[in-house]
Structure 1
């Protein structure tokens, strides 16, 4: 498609970008038109004009559905934060101070939602009474823009993306069991001993089997062929099973620090716990950041600083899989 160079950016362009945002958020020309008070054909024509203006095809169209093209997704990732900033600036006109308000959608894994955010969100919400927060639990981050998320808090190494990422902390991978289990079955003294124990396993969604275990000390990496009768796919069930004496599990220190400190769980093989797991915050890569996103990121940074009082041992290896790979 050849761009029309004779037309620059004007108020019509802004209207067309607004329609683009409405189509992406609603998932169809019909619903976008209903939200904007326009007909489907009017929205379709506006999108066609925008495609001609920028010189790319924005959507794949079929009789039943539409979807952003790769070029369209990159374009929308670039303009969406600016549209949000324009909308917020319009809403905040005449207000001398920046107000944190509206709905904030946060993409998180189950463990972060259950053990880190929800128990400590109350002061943040009290500080911003005009803000509502939606924590959406996802196995993977997926398409932050297409699914309408403002922020993501995810474990793992960031993949190449137009999103901005910020390292929040690194937490150790540790191995734990309940005192009752260890009293019945004994304390493992070396990684290979785990092959004789009941282990609570984490399901790998890619294979349907469980994720493998390995142990790291100095430069030595020891894989262990663990087994067990119970396999789960979430941090909550995993910790509940370990607390109930079902077996030994690999868990994140971030989730278990208090449980180990008060004796409800016992860390085994502590000298082999040199592996770490990074936690990142993701948001749209732009200097135009809405007040609600900025306020939430400040809150999360302060919160995770509390969760990392000391420097964990430097890892020889860092896990790449997402939170579905570990609790």
Structure 2
């Protein structure tokens, strides 16, 4: 069957519409007119024999047929882009568009104020960050790399551990003045208000563990507040609502300023891995390596 260049061109335009969310943004990205984008999509729909997009005056969305078609062709587009990158020698050049899936804790508490500095290092790079609890389908979503905590169950993605982050237990001076300071982890079970954090995978609260070398103590805490937002948890802890377990990298500035107090420094050997996940076994492009290295520096 002869190669149909118009079909590939139409698919590329469709991808630009899906990623941009509108015909206008797709036109800007491709350097053509909005009417040119519309004609290309219409020709593709006629070629396939199915309506791929639902169009309104305010939005554009994939139809069911369009979603199935796009999910099938997206990996091929990524492979073509990888081949073009390699052919142009860009495996060692940080440029292009980088789409990243970021864990909310990293996005809310570690990266704020740092993304601009990253972009300053690489003027030819643009960054598209997606923040959500679930990692989703990296291939279908066009994600280059995902940065998540812990190991994913039954994942076929390629994983690289970036760093192990220390977990500590903290409280605000106002809470300790009101409720008293617990001397040991087991004291938390005796009436202290603890702020639970929801595991995004199991949807259940994380267990409260305390590590001292190889010794692990699990404490059944009493909590009336369960949160799935790390920023809110830190804010409530700072406000004196209760005791929380957080990463040292998140709390260290607040501890230094006296806004938070670490409660059990002798029981602070718990570590939690921060991983990078890739949808392909191919050697990561320079833009991916640059971002991952920047994350490691930020959390350290």
TM-score band, normalised by the shorter chain? 0.7 to 0.9
Equivalent in the alignment of 1:109: 103
Q: How does 1:118-267 map to 2 (within 5 A)?
A: 118-195=112-189, 196-204=191-199, 210-267=205-262
More off after superposition, 100-109 vs 193-202 = 100-109
2:12 is equivalent to residue 12 of structure 1: no
Instruction: Give RMSD over aligned pairs.
Output: 3.8
CA contact (8 A) 1:203 1:210 kept: yes
For the residues of structure 1 that align with 2:206 and 2:297, how far apart are their CA atoms? Answer: 32
Residue aligned with 1:187, SS: coil
CA contact (8 A) 1:162 1:285 kept: no
Residue from 247, 271, 276 that aligns with 1:276: 271
Equivalent in the alignment of 1:315: none
TM norm structure 1: 0.68
How far 1:35 sits from its partner (Å)? 8.2
CA contact (8 A) 2:169 2:246 kept: yes
Q: How does 1:53-68 map to 2 (within 5 A)?
A: 64-65=64-65
For the residues of structure 2 that align with 1:98 and 1:218, how far apart are their CA atoms? Answer: 41
TM norm structure 2: 0.73
How far 1:258 sits from its partner (Å)? 2.1
CA contact (8 A) 2:85 2:91 kept: no
Residue from 83, 86, 91 that aligns with 2:83: 86
CA contact (8 A) 1:107 1:137 kept: yes
CA contact (8 A) 2:134 2:200 kept: no
More off after superposition, 238-247 vs 274-283 = 274-283
Residue aligned with 1:193, SS: helix
CA contact (8 A) 2:98 2:126 kept: yes
Runs of 4+ in structure 1 over 6 Å off: 13-27
Structure 2 gaps of 5+ residues are 27-36, 51-62
Q: In the superposition, relative to structure 1, how do residues 283 and 35 fare at CA in structure 2: closer, same or farther (>3 Å)? A: farther
How far 1:206 sits from its partner (Å)? 6.5
Question: Deviations for 1:13-69, whole angstroms, at most 9, x for unmatched residues?
Answer: 998778777777867xxx999585533242469xxxxxxxxxxxxxxxxx8446669
2:282 is equivalent to residue 287 of structure 1: yes
CA contact (8 A) 2:197 2:206 kept: yes
Residue aligned with 1:230, SS: strand
Q: In the superposition, relative to structure 1, how do residues 118 and 44 fare at CA in structure 2: closer, same or farther (>3 Å)? A: farther
How far 1:207 sits from its partner (Å)? 7.0
How far 1:248 sits from its partner (Å)? 0.4
Q: In the superposition, relative to structure 1, how do residues 24 and 183 fare at CA in structure 2: closer, same or farther (>3 Å)? A: same
Residue aligned with 2:113, SS: helix
More off after superposition, 148-157 vs 112-121 = 112-121
For the residues of structure 1 that align with 2:178 and 2:259, how far apart are their CA atoms? Answer: 15
Residue from 42, 65, 72 that aligns with 2:47: 42
Residue aligned with 1:228, SS: strand
